[in-house]
Every structure is written in structure tokens, then in C-alpha cells.
Amino acid sequence: MGTLVVRGGRVIDETGERDADVLVRDGVIVEVGPGLDAPGAQVIDADGAVVAPGLVDIQVHFREPGREDAETVETGARAAALGGFTAVVAMPNTTPPLDDAKVVGAVLEQGRRASCHVAVAGCITRGREGHELAPMGELYDLGVRIFTDDGDCVADANVMRRAFEYARALPGAVIAQHAEDPALVAGGHMHEGEWSARLGIPGRPAAAEITIVARDLELARLTGGRYHVLHMSTAGATALVRAAKAEGVRVTAEASPQHFTLTDAECASFDPVFKMNPPLRSSDDVDAIVAGLVDGTIDAIATDHAPHPPASKELAFEEAPPGMLGVETALAVAITRLVEPGVLSLRDALARLSWQPARIAGLDAHGHGLPIAPGNAANLCVIDPSETWVVDPARSASKSRNTPWAGWKLTGRVRHTILRGEPVVINGEAVR
């Protein structure tokens, strides 16, 4: 490890913003201020750019173990670093699932060499089957803080209740739900609404999310447990979370870029690149998600980065698996959709992409999302907030190509990413 200086940028973090250089030595920020230099320091050019805490994505699927043809920890982390992320939380719906200390340990080991910090979420139930609790304490001891059966909803209310209760013994742990009632979404492939009726594609009603969130909020209230709503997508669930927060329920929520930008009308193309769970919703839902991001009901932007190899999307809509890539485009979609039109300030957008999700997942304890100040780990990203670019799936660092943003002209680009004081992305190119 050496010395580097991030020079000429505008520093934006939770404490505010100012023009300053950032001097880093041995992975740690040692000084922040104007005109910094040190003998032999590597200069990281931030002229005209924003220097922010590294972004934190608390919902990615890196497919390891089991589907290394779609993504690996190595490729997913590289793609994330290119997107400005210095930390991610990998979801446990792998094969085998992350319900076992050995498997979790192996994934964490892969992450140690990766281009960003790879934390993992553990399963709530053994085998993600929804019946018996996974060894949450053992996983917690390995550093797991988010527990979820993501991909599947914990449908059994009693199991959910016990998970909330048990996790109270694990400080900082949070129970995160993929909130879609399996009975209501059975056989469904897109949002149930005008478009599904027209296209003849069986639907997944908004009520499937709203009923589960309503139930889980009551269980969180009952148990005092901590609840996190993964990829919240409906106006109804957003209203419930808003009310519950006002009443002091310990709840947080995240939304994905596609859910605050795209609608179910995209499915009229029959292209399964627009298929995901929960599905793209109506424009009213999109508006409600944006409003929730603005008023703080929704704490975090998380991508649900879900790689699938090309062949598995070269099928009919109803046959293809759900999921979209996200880590390389999340910041730019947030800037294009929220910051440019004046819905959120850049700093408020960064709050939802960095320090707020870092706190939900306990990644602040690992030096992510912290203020850019002496003594804190040098996990940083340098952003050109007004640079425009066109998304080309062929250029993705992911092993997969299933991005819904192909051909979109986006504003905001990552120039550099620095992980624990080491540049991992320089001038938009991965160097690790």
C-alpha cells in the first residue's frame, strides 16, 4: 500500500460539501483540504469531478456458487467497482444457498481478492424453504448482518415472527424480505394491470407486495425486530412503510433504479430483459417510489443486480428467468432520473447510494459510507456528474448482458474507484 492524493475535486459526503484534496496513506484518509501533496504520492485526478464515499449496493446476485456461467464474485465485483461501488451485499439464493457457515465462508474468501468489499446476506430459513431457521448466529459470527430468503418470500407468518425475535439476539442484524406473497404471484410473470390484461401475460398483483409488507410491519411491531423491505415497488407498500416509520417501527426500505424509472409498458416488447421480480409496475407506482425516495421513506437505492447468461433470456417472456443487471448503471440512472430533473440533490442521491445503505447493512463498521475525513478508510469514488454516455451491453464487465438500459443515454459517470486506498478503477477502466 502506498500514498495517493485525490486532487482537484469537490468532496461530498454526509457532513456536507467542499472543494478539497484527499490524502490517503496505507488505505486510510490522513488529510482533507486544499493543495495537498506528499512526496511520491500517486495523483488521482478529480479535476471538475465529485469525490464521494464509495457507493454501497445492499442487493446484488453474484451467482457464486452454482451459476458461475452468469456471474462470479470476481466479475460481479469488478462490474460493481466500475459503477462506483466499494461494497456490496451478495444475496443468498445461490446453489447451494448461503444457509451454511462453510458456504458463506467460501464466498467471503472469494471476495477478499475482489474489486470491492463483498459482504453476504444469509438465509433466514434452511434451504430457503421457509420452515426452519438457518444457523443465523453462526452466519452472524462470520459477519452476516442481512438475513433474507430473497428470491423467495418467507410466506409463513410464524416463521417470520420467530426470525424477527431470534435476530434480536444479534445486534445490528436485520430481517429483509422479498415481499411477494407466493400464492398471489403463482404463475405470474409481470405486473398485474392494464398491460398484463392486454398482453395476456399472467400477472403478479401489487397486492402481493402490499399484504406481505403490512403483515411484516405488524410482526416487526409485535417483536421489536428490525425489518428491511427489499426492492420495494408499489405505492401501497410505500405508504405502509411511511406510516410505520412515523410510528417508530424499526423499518427501512430500498428501491431499485428500474422501479423508479421503468413501467410495465416495457413488457409490450415481449423482451424478457424487462422481466424481474417484483415486476416493473404502473406509472403511479413509479411516481410513489420516487416520492418515497424524496421524503426518506425509502432509505436506499439497491440494484438487485441479477445476471443471466444470454441464452436464458433468448426465450419467450414467460419462459425466461427474472432479473436485470444493475451495478454499472445505478449511479447514472439515479443522476439522470432523479438529480438532473431536480427531484433530489446529488448529495441526497449519494445518501441513498452510499451512507444510508451502508448503515442498514452494517458496512459502516467496515469503513464504507463514512465521511471523507482523517482516520476513515479510503473507500471513495470519483464521479463526473454531468458526463453523458450511452449504455452498450457489450462493454459490460459482467459475465451477462441482460441490462434494460441498452441504448439509453445516461448522465453521470464513474471516473475512479478507490478501495481501501487502492485504485481499482482508473479513468473508467478496471485495473484489478
CB of 317 to another protein, least distance (A): 5
User: How many whole angstroms separate alpha carbon 237 and alpha carbon 212?
Assistant: 9
Under the binding rule (CB under 8 A), the answer on residue 407 touching another protein is no
Axis crossing angle, helix 157-167 with helix 206-223, rounded to the nearest 10: 40
What residues have CB less than 8 Å from 210, skipping those under 6 apart? 234, 236, 237, 240
Contact map string, positions 186 to 225, toward another protein, x by CB under 8 A: ------xxx-xxxxxxxx-x--------------------
Q: Contact, 97 vs 128, CB < 8 A? A: yes
314 vs 392, beta carbon nearer another protein: 314
Around Cβ 422, how many Cβ atoms within 10 Å?
17
User: How many whole angstroms separate alpha carbon 130 and alpha carbon 127?
Assistant: 8
Q: Contact, 231 vs 57, CB < 8 A? A: no
312 vs 379, beta carbon nearer another protein: 312
Q: Which helix (H) or strand (E) holds 105?
A: helix 101-112
Residues 239-278 binding another protein (CB under 8 A) are: 269-271
CB of 186 to another protein, least distance (A): 9
User: How many whole angstroms separate alpha carbon 377 and alpha carbon 5?
Assistant: 14
**C-alpha distances in Å from residue 345, one per residue of 20, 67, 260:** 20, 38, 16
Residues 133-192 binding another protein (CB under 8 A) are: 192
CB of 184 to another protein, least distance (A): 12
- Closest C-alpha to 276, from 189, 370, 155: 189
Q: Which of the residues 304, 348, 364, 392 is marked catalytic?
A: 304
35 vs 200, beta carbon nearer another protein: 200
Q: Contact, 14 vs 351, CB < 8 A? A: yes
Q: Which helix (H) or strand (E) holds 415?
A: strand 409-419
39 vs 200, beta carbon nearer another protein: 200
Around Cβ 141, how many Cβ atoms within 10 Å?
12
83 vs 205, beta carbon nearer another protein: 205
CB of 237 to another protein, least distance (A): 19
- Closest C-alpha to 326, from 259, 268, 271, 270: 259
Q: Cell 453476504 maps to which residue?
A: 120
Q: Contact, 55 vs 334, CB < 8 A? A: no
CB of 263 to another protein, least distance (A): 14
CB of 354 to another protein, least distance (A): 38
CB of 270 to another protein, least distance (A): 3
Under the binding rule (CB under 8 A), the answer on residue 1 touching another protein is no
Residues 283-322 binding another protein (CB under 8 A) are: 311-312, 314-319
Q: Is 304 a catalytic residue?
A: yes
145 vs 191, beta carbon nearer another protein: 191
| Count of residues near another protein by CB under 8 A | 23
CB of 353 to another protein, least distance (A): 34
88 vs 206, beta carbon nearer another protein: 206
260 vs 317, beta carbon nearer another protein: 317
Q: Contact, 123 vs 91, CB < 8 A? A: no
Buried b (16+ CB within 10 A) or exposed e, 213-245: bebbbebbbebebbbbbbbbbbbbbbbbbbebb
Within 27-179, strands assigned E span 28-33, 42-45, 50-53, 55-60, 85-90, 117-120, 146-147, 174-177
Binding residues for another protein, rule: CB under 8 A, are 192-194, 196-203, 205, 269-271, 311-312, 314-319
Residues known to be catalytic: 304
